[in-house]
Amino acid sequence: MLDAFLFLFVMGLLVLGLRRPFIWVLAYLYIDIVAPQKIGWTLMRILPVSLIAFIAAFAGWALADSKQGSRFTFRQGLMLVLLAYCAMTTLKADFPQEALEKWDWVWKALVFAIFLPLTLRTRLRIEAAALAMTLSAAAIIISGGIKTAAGGGGYGVLYFFVNDNTGLYESSTISCIAIAIIPLIVWLARFGTVFPPDWRVRLFAAALIFACLLIPVGTEARTGLICIGLLGVLLLRTVKRRGLYIALGAFALFAAIPFLPSSFTARMGTIETHDSDESASTRVAVWQWTLHYVKDHPFGGGFNAYLQNSFTYNKPVTVDMGGGITETQIQNVTDKARAYHSAYFEMLGEQGYAGFALWLLLHVTGLWQMEKLRRRYIKRAKTDKRAGVSRPEDAWKGPLADALQQAQLIYLVGALFVGIAFQPFVLMLIGLQCGLWTYLNRIDSPARAKARRRIRPGAEPQHGNAVTAKAGALR
């Protein structure tokens, strides 16, 4: 039954795209995030639905969609350069066959992220893309949240739709992304037009946020706890009553502790005592190996270059001596072919200094662009308030830039401990940022806003609602 429903749902999206080609873009977002072809076992595996949606999205835009307003941005250019650079390192990879396996999905993720902003020409399309990404991730998050609330979960044992350890189905990855999309959920609940905000939308958003917060508990991923802490700090910038917010946050934290599984609190305790945890110890050893490796290989070793690592590290082990007496001993542990467990070291080891610099520049410019948009509309709101002008059409713009910036910051901190440098969902998020940046600068740049405010000679001054109506018409 589930297999038939998924097949009919995907086919329905593809059919709807015949009338509205942009739906094919949304269909690919859903298929790439949820991977329904992995969930189904018969019908969903008959056709390569991901490839069909990928080609349809491009063909629909090229053949049937308007190109008015489409712009190629600097960050899209950065991704294009990064794509070419990764192709070069793949050709010269230390492990050619293994590198090709990763390249097979990385190039698709980069190409789609470069393409996505070209289709986001209107507010409705930007919102629809954000909604499709959020709800697609929510499908995975809700299933994990329900299992966690029902008493399931545990490190490495919380399974979602499928028993798979790739994409968003990997525990640390979904823990990071679940927290990162919370600002987007809040924005959609406040400013969404596809589902206009009412009590039902707000209730669903609150339940989804709760499910997002449960994911780090269910997966027992330490990355998720760090991301929750960062989200709490980021929200201090936007909340009106910070003292009350801090007090309620502290109360919620202490109230939740008795309900947390003992295995979760024990694992979170290893954040502070990482030297005694094998997982944390191997990560540090891999990072040290990567720093030494890149000194001799400044252009990196290509995808999956970590397969050649080998190292020995000291691990404290508690030994039972009998009679209730324990003793801590230092043991030498040798390990090899350990993954990077960090997007930063992943980029450094696989793509070298140049690739790491390109990747870092891509994210830093995104943070800068979203901050610039956020401040533009904060400043405009203050100016309009002093002038007694109401501009409700601007209300959604600054908060969306802020939500996308917060999501990216949470990802960048979570990526310190997870190898998700090329995670497709994050690349889609970058594409969404590029689309918002292009759209707002095209219709609402400071220069255009100044031109709209300029009163022609002999014209009647426009105030209040008339100004709002005129600005809305120009949009």
Q: Where are the domains of the chain?
A: 1-65, 144-272, 274-336
Distance CA 178, CA 180 (A): 6
| Strand, helix or coil for residue 301 | coil
Q: What are phi and psi of 325, to 5 degrees?
A: -100, 130
Integer CA distances (angstroms), 33 to 27, 169, 232, 323, 387, in order = 10, 9, 26, 54, 45
CB 170 within 8 A of CB 423: no
Strand partners, 329: 317
Note the pTM of the prediction, 2 decimals.
Answer: 0.86
Tell me the H-state helices in 92-219: 96-119, 123-149, 171-180, 182-191, 199-219
Position 170 scores a pLDDT of 87
Distance CA 108, CA 51 (A): 10
Write down the residue that tokens 């440098």 correspond to.
Answer: 421
Average pLDDT for consecutive 10-residue bins of the chain (475 residues)? 83 92 95 88 81 94 88 94 96 93 95 96 95 95 86 65 80 92 96 93 95 87 87 86 77 65 56 55 85 93 91 70 70 80 94 96 97 92 79 89 96 93 96 96 72 50 40 35
Tell me the one-letter amino acid at 363. H
Position 135 scores a pLDDT of 96
Sign of the CA dihedral with 409 first, then 414, 418, and 423 last: negative
| Strand, helix or coil for residue 163 | coil
